């Protein structure tokens, strides 16, 4: 019976190992195929042809001497007659030449700056794409080494199993020899009735020992083999960065306490009618401080021990716990408002969806939820803010977060964008040509300005946004 159970368990383990190997290889192959290729970004724009501008500047004045001298002589009168015929068109042509040369001179510098900025942007984008490709390639290389690491563990476990099997075989052989010896003794002493009690005692001892051996084997099977359903245990969350290191990262890159207060102050009036507010991922407690100054009851939640201690040291009620675990422990309909600034981009998608669903049940009717995060639709925000933080899991598009709130039951869901990047950082539009300029120049300016507007909409739009909804 024990041998049959061992064979069944070993067969099941082998099937599970083969299935896991196939799933791992398929996933690794899919990841390898998804490796980003070479960048297909356009080449920098060609240089503006400025070779004839000096010639134009020299030749634009077709009347360098002005109008001819006109007097009462026959020649003077003749010159006056001719000038009245050809003078106005020549003056008009001279004015046109002057306006055109002035336009070319003023736009030459702007075109050079725009070309330099575009060239720099394309180079930076190519560099980022190449870095992403290198990260993906190193990730695949790392995953390939995992197989070798697991193989070493399998060999170690296999060696231990061989030792156990060898010990069990030796014990079985020993008890078989003892049984044979006892049988021989029983045959030899069958006629000796006086020794019958000794034989019975020895047989009883053999039975007890065999029963003990059977129980020990079953105990090893129960303790040393995986669960019967073959499901792997859930993987724990990856360890966070050292708490004090991440606190220093926040201080250096997210901004000072006063800068964060100024950025979060606009959210305080939103919670004026909801009462009790919970700040998920409260960090150093800037928003808790703003709520307290506004006369609103508030408490915080954060996983970082150093930040929790910093906030508690300033007199705030803060739980050192993950956001979902905290909410699940609260009674339904017990919270007036939920706020999370720069938190959701740190969460796995499954965790985020469970968090939003749980938040809907824990908020009171009419309660408010505000989730602020980096605007992934803004290239500047992505490259300057999102990829800088190692703890970010994935960027979230505004429409995606808005949909998740609506799908979880929240109403009046809207997206509020935070102030955009300063105007000084945006690309400048080309100056509008004069009203009497050639039609081609106006069309060129419109095309240039349309492309500049598209670039500004992608590069220098709002850096953050907040998804706001009502329970």
pLDDT digits (tens, 9 = 90+) for 385-421: 677 777 788 888 999 999 999 999 999 999 999 876 5
Q: What band does 279 get if pLDDT is binned at 50, 70 and 90?
A: very high
Task: Quote the percentage of the chain above a pLDDT of 90.
Answer: 27
Domain 243-470 has CATH 3.40.50.150: yes
Higher local confidence (pLDDT), 105 or 256: 105
d(CA 285, CA 309): 10
| pLDDT at residue 381, as a whole number | 64
| pLDDT at residue 178, as a whole number | 65
User: pLDDT tens digits, residue range 43-101?
Assistant: 777 777 777 888 888 888 887 877 888 888 888 888 888 888 888 898 888 889 888 88
Q: What is the pTM of this model?
A: 0.45
């Amino acid at each position: 019976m024990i041998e049959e159970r061992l064979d069944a368990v070993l067969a099941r383990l082998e099937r599970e190992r083969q299935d896991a190997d196939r799933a791992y290889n398929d996933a690794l192959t899919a990841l390898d195929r998804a490796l980003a290729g070479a960048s297909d970004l356009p080449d920098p724009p060609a240089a503006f042809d400025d070779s004839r501008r000096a010639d134009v500047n020299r030749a634009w004045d077709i009347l360098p001497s002005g109008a001819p001298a006109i007097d009462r002589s026959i020649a003077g009168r003749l010159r006056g007659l001719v000038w009245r015929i050809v003078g106005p068109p020549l003056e008009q042509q001279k004015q046109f030449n002057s306006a055109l040369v002035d336009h070319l001179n003023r736009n030459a510098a702007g075109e050079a700056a725009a070309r330099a900025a575009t060239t720099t942007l394309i180079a930076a984008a190519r560099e980022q794409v190449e870095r992403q490709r290198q990260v993906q390639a190193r990730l695949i290389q790392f995953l390939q080494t995992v197989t070798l690491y697991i193989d070493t563990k399998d060999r170690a476990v296999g060696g231990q199993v061989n030792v156990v099997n060898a010990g069990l075989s030796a014990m079985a052989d020993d008890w078989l020899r003892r049984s044979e010896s006892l049988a021989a003794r029983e045959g030899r002493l069958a006629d000796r009735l006086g020794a019958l009690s000794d034989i019975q005692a020895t047989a009883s001892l053999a039975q007890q020992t065999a029963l003990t051996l059977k129980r020990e084997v079953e105990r090893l099977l129960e303790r040393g083999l995986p669960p019967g359903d073959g499901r792997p245990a859930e993987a724990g969350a990856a360890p966070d960065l050292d708490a004090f290191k991440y606190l220093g990262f926040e201080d250096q890159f997210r901004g000072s306490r006063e800068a964060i207060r100024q950025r979060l102050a606009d959210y305080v009036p939103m919670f004026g009618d909801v009462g009790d507010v919970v700040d998920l991922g409260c960090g150093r407690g800037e928003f808790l401080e703003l709520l307290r100054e506004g006369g609103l009851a508030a408490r915080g939640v954060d996983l970082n021990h150093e930040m929790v201690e910093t906030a508690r040291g300033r007199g705030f009620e803060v739980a050192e716990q993950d956001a979902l675990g905290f909410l699940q422990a609260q009674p339904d309909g017990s919270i007036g408002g939920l706020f999370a600034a720069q938190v959701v981009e740190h969460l796995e998608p499954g965790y985020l969806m469970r968090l939003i669903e749980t938040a809907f049940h824990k908020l009171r009717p009419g309660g408010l939820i505000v989730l602020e995060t980096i605007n992934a639709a803004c290239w500047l925000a992505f490259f300057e803010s999102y990829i800088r933080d190692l703890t970010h899991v994935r960027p979230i598009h505004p429409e995606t977060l808005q949909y998740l709130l609506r799908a979880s039951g929240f109403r009046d869901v809207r997206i509020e964008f935070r102030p955009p990047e300063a105007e000084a950082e945006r690309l400048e539009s080309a100056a509008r040509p004069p009203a009497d300029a050639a039609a081609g120049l106006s069309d060129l300016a419109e095309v240039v300005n349309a492309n500049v507007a598209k670039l500004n909409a992608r590069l220098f739009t709002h850096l953050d946004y907040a998804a706001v909804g009502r329970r």
